[in-house]
Amino acid sequence: MQGLANSRQIRFRERLRQRVRRELRPAAAVPGNPELVYDLRQGGSAAGGFYAEAAHFSGRLLAEIESRAAQALTEYSLFVQDVLKEAQRSRGECGVELLTLGMTLSRYAGAAENSPAWVVKTCRALFRLRRRAPVKPLVDFTRAALTRAFLLPKIGVPAGEDAHSLRRLPRLIEWLEATGEFEQEVARIRNWRGLLETLPQVEAESWIAVAIGLFTWFEHEAAAALGGYTKGVSRFIEEEYARRGCREDQFFCSRPAVEYHLGMVTAEIMNGGLQAGFERKAKKVVLVPACMRGAKANVCRARVAGTDITCTSCDPECAVNRITQKMKALGVKVYIVPHATGFSRWLTRWQREPDTGVTAVACLLNILPGGYEMRARNIASQCVLLDYPGCAKHWREQAIPTAVNEQRLVQIVTAQARAGA
């Protein structure tokens, strides 16, 4: 039995090494004026100005939420603790969850109402099935075809007059599950639904209206405050995305700028809400995506030990190497995560080490679900945004090495002041 267990471990390590070699692909140098989906540097060499603006706008957003929904946040916070028995949230985190409810209702309630029920049911079943590796390619192709034919065309279709009411939430949740892109968001919408169903119908409907109104305010104000950083989103959807065929990531890549803006404020607000718990942890680690490696990625000699992937300093110009050396001087270890789809597996390690605080570097569209998942796993965490996306899997025909504001990363890890980085 011991020999069989060792054999399985060897096969697992070899499969992981093959995956790392496959996903840690070579990346071209960043051109002088790249056409990027989003860019936090806004033409500069660092994203320091962005963080000051994001902090300022997040403050405005929290004030707006408090002015419209203070009572709702108070009752939701108590419901989460007393009924759901989940960890206490900051009011800012509760506000983000309410805004997420408003976003999904505003953007996807009509699609949920108008998509064929059999397609929604089939796609939900296929999403569960795709986790079985042997059938994943076939399942992904089938899901992609159904999504392209039946789900995506329904986005933007107006909902019925009562489509935002409480009794429509179950159908919205099923539709979101069918897309495979809102697993963590759905968990929070279920929480809000649980609370709303305990209220008189009139009160529940009024809170739903508040959530939708908040998202309407956010969509307009965030475009004015943060839209300069997402100028490439429309171009990407109209040009690069439009040329693509039936792909499993088509829903993920077709998100509008407002969902990028939601990721921006989520990072700021959730960092604030989780900061105290993170600071109390004696040990700190940093997770960086593989897309940050430099031009010599094809000969990357990253060390693989189980699920741990660490830099061996094989390329002096590589950003991962540079960050690893900076963090080493602070007593912090850096680990490479091959791709966002493997994020959950890597988090299991840190869920088992409650004395560790985790800082994750991630793309904008992965910040909200990633932050929610770390919160759900009771991992003391912080997050830092990639300055721009560059992987060939989603965003470009040829990958470019991505980057992060390294000063901001050091400030987050060492729990220094946030704004004005």
Residue-wise pLDDT for 326-355, tens only, equals 999 999 999 998 865 567 777 888 899 999
What pLDDT shows up at residue 411? 93
Minimum mean pLDDT range among 20-24, 307-311, 359-363, 372-376: 20-24
Dihedrals phi, psi of 289, to nearest 5 degrees: -75, 150
Per the CB < 8 A criterion, the answer to whether 347 and 379 are in contact is yes
Minimum mean pLDDT range among 18-22, 156-160, 282-286, 289-293: 18-22
What pLDDT shows up at residue 394? 87
pLDDT exceeds 60 at position 51: yes
- Band (pLDDT 50/70/90 cuts) for residue 133 is low
Average pLDDT over residues 227-249: 88
What pLDDT shows up at residue 172? 96
Top mean pLDDT of 80-84, 165-169, 247-251 is at 80-84
pLDDT exceeds 80 at position 42: no
pLDDT exceeds 70 at position 34: no
Minimum mean pLDDT range among 1-15, 102-116, 232-246, 365-379: 1-15
Reported residue count of the chain is 421
Reported as a single tens digit per residue, the pLDDT across 203-221 is: 999 999 999 999 999 999 9
- Mean pLDDT, rounded, of the chain: 86
Average pLDDT over residues 265-272: 95
If we measure between CA atoms, which residue out of 19, 26, 7, 5 comes closest to residue 400? 26
pLDDT exceeds 50 at position 12: no
Average pLDDT over residues 391-411: 89
pLDDT exceeds 60 at position 145: yes
What pLDDT shows up at residue 142? 92
Distance in angstroms (rounded) separating the CA atoms of residues 319 and 389: 14
- pTM, two decimals, is 0.87
Average pLDDT over residues 237-249: 84
pLDDT exceeds 50 at position 60: yes
What pLDDT shows up at residue 14? 55
pLDDT exceeds 90 at position 359: yes
What pLDDT shows up at residue 6? 53
pLDDT exceeds 60 at position 244: yes
Residues 6+ apart with CB under 8 A from 194: 79, 83, 84
Neighbouring C-beta atoms of residue 247, cutoff 10 Å? 17
pLDDT exceeds 50 at position 55: yes
If we measure between CA atoms, which residue out of 244, 240, 254, 166 comes closest to residue 209? 166
What pLDDT shows up at residue 88? 86
Average pLDDT over residues 18-38: 51
Q: Where are the alpha helices (H) located in 147-235, listed in sequence order?
A: 169-179, 183-196, 201-226, 232-235
What pLDDT shows up at residue 3? 53
pLDDT exceeds 70 at position 421: no
Minimum mean pLDDT range among 37-51, 348-362, 373-387: 37-51
Does 5 or 256 have the greater pLDDT score? Answer: 256
What pLDDT shows up at residue 21? 45
Does 108 or 246 have the greater pLDDT score? Answer: 108
- Specify the residue for token string 């392209």: 148
What pLDDT shows up at residue 405? 94
Average pLDDT over residues 382-399: 89
- Band (pLDDT 50/70/90 cuts) for residue 30 is very low
Does 72 or 300 have the greater pLDDT score? Answer: 72
Residue 174, both tokens: 């099923």
What pLDDT shows up at residue 16? 44
Dihedrals phi, psi of 356, to nearest 5 degrees: -110, 135
- Specify the residue for token string 């329904």: 154
